[in-house]
Structure 1
């Protein structure tokens, strides 16, 4: 049934396939280094799971906003750029954000997919309203169609607001 030559051929086929897989794995590791491709595209921040500790101290948003850096805000805005554009009138999945600071809510020209939830909680996009919305959009305006979880760091929110405010100046 099986002679020595048949067993040798089967063994050679198995070991050859194993060698090809190992060489492919080695080549793949050499070609695709995580370090060689720079920083990650998106960092997903999660809440602290410890649950204990002291309550966070109250910070004054006006002080944080006064120290905000639009250049840092432009970097944080990359998270938003998947759905929002900053060019005037260039709507995408979400409305354009050019001139949003001081603009009435639900008023981007040409954008018709508003849920109406924002009009129930605010009239104008003030820095304070934007801060509250960007903290947790669904918490600020229940029923909003914006699926973004929010920006947990107040500095990131202030920097993004400063960036958006700098666009129309």
Structure 2
């Protein structure tokens, strides 16, 4: 019997707490909300420095590549060094990337490419390299390249500028 009485007291206390919360919420809403105003009572002015900046226009790949710094690309290329080298004829898990810009796809005779890469035609243009290193597995499904890709367009442009600077 006392367990039932304890449960009833608990339920009554919970209902009373909810009723108090509802009444306080209703009263405070009535006190602090004035729906009769036609315009705001005050306006918060911002300094020009605090105003949110307008979103910058995205640059095209050509603009990014033209402004890219090969030295910055060399730093970003450290991610690629696990599998690639830039010395002529030095291959690792991936082929040498020396003079890759303008070279035919899968054209290094002493390197064994995956079927996904040998199935591609054409040459490695800057735009094509950009598309490939954005997400290699989307660009060439079935490629053996496990690299996830470079997210930032500026980083990709810098790497391509670095690779272009090597064959000169």
Is TM > 0.5 for Structure 1 vs Structure 2? yes
TM class by shorter chain equals 0.5 to 0.7
Match of 1:74 in 2: 74
Match of 1:163 in 2: 162
Structure 1 runs not aligned, ≥5 long: 1-55
1:135-150 pair list within 5 angstroms:
135-150=134-149
SS in structure 2 of the partner of residue 81 of structure 1? helix
Match of 2:65 in 1: 65
Displacement after TM superposition at 1:109 (Å) = 3.5
Structure 2 runs not aligned, ≥5 long: 1-55
Deviations 1:15-42 (Å, cap 9, x if unpaired)?
Answer: xxxxxxxxxxxxxxxxxxxxxxxxxxxx
Aligned residues, how many? 113
**In 1, are the aligned partners of 2:135 and 2:150 still within 8 Å (CA)?**
yes
TM-score (norm 2): 0.64
Q: Note closer, same or farther for the CA distance 1:155–1:68 as it changes in structure 2 (3 Å cut).
A: same
RMSD: 1.7
Displacement after TM superposition at 1:108 (Å) = 1.9
Match of 1:106 in 2: 106
User: Where has structure 1 moved over 2 Å in runs of 4 or more?
Assistant: 56-59, 118-122
Question: Which of structures 1 and 2 has the bigger CA Rg?
Answer: 2
Deviations 1:104-127 (Å, cap 9, x if unpaired)?
Answer: 010124111x11323444411000
